[in-house]
């Protein structure tokens, strides 16, 4: 039986992140199901950042932006954020992990104090109480003391805070490499096996190389 995961998208900036995450999860041969929830705020940000046409249906817009082939799209099950009777609202429906990406500051605060008034918040709260992996891609900067306190509380409850900070060591001038590196770390946090690690992991320099440059003086490519 394959992995069953939840991808929960809230209205913070950075919609390239859930697009790449959905592409990777749905194409993964070991992933059986991706439960997708996109908040109304996220639908608006999607429309603004990716110029999607489906303003009223965020899940449809995200799937469209991901350009999934039919076999990958068939793994995705979309739910409305007000659908509190969805299977992922209950801990008796077992998942292997949940991701809130991007995670807005309002969602972070709600989770920190136990507010579960939407499906996204309820599904994330279920992950914490059931002790399966919950990854929070908190997308805000600079951090206020309130943000830091909320992250501290959630870390104590077992959530993994994974802000989308660029892994500069992957090199290259394309945003795609940073997105791939972030999704790779996300999969690590979910304990989902992946082959997306050929040159996105830092392995250090050899004794004949500096940590950041190869023998020729060019930036080393992590293996």
Q: Which pLDDT tens digit goes with each residue over 153-188? A: 999 999 999 999 988 888 877 899 999 999 999 999
Q: Where are the alpha helices (DSSP H) in 51-174?
A: 58-66, 70-73, 105-112, 119-130, 145-156
Domains in the chain (CATH in brackets) are 3-190 (3.40.50.1950)
Q: What is the pLDDT of residues 67-92, one digit of tens each?
A: 999 999 999 999 999 999 999 999 99
pTM metric for this prediction = 0.90
Are the CB atoms for 8 and 123 separated by under 8 Å? yes
Taking each helix axis as running N to C, give the angle between helix 175-190 and helix 16-27, from 0 to 180 degrees, rounded to the nearest 10: 60
- Check pLDDT > 90 for residue 131: yes
């Amino acid at each position: 039986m394959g992995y069953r995961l939840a991808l929960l998208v809230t209205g913070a900036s950075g919609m390239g992140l859930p697009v790449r995450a959905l592409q990777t999860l749905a194409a993964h041969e070991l992933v059986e199901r991706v439960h997708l929830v996109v908040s109304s705020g996220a639908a608006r940000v999607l429309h603004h950042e990716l110029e999607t046409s489906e303003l009223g249906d965020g899940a449809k817009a995200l799937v469209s932006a991901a350009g999934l082939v039919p076999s990958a799209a068939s793994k995705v099950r979309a739910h409305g954020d007000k659908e509190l009777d969805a299977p992922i609202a209950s801990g008796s429906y077992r998942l292997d992990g949940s991701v809130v990406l991007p995670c807005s500051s309002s969602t972070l605060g709600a989770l920190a104090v136990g507010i579960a008034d939407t499906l996204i918040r309820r599904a994330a709260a279920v992950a914490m109480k059931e002790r399966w992996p919950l990854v929070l891609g908190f997308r805000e900067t600079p951090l206020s003391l309130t943000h830091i306190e909320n992250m501290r509380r959630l870390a104590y409850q077992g959530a993994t805070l994974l802000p989308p900070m660029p892994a500069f060591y992957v090199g290259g001038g394309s945003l795609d490499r940073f997105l791939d590196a972030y999704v790779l770390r996300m999969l690590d946090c979910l304990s989902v096996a992946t082959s997306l690690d050929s040159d996105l992991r830092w392995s250090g320099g050899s004794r004949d190389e500096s940590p950041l440059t190869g023998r020729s003086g060019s930036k080393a490519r992590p293996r």
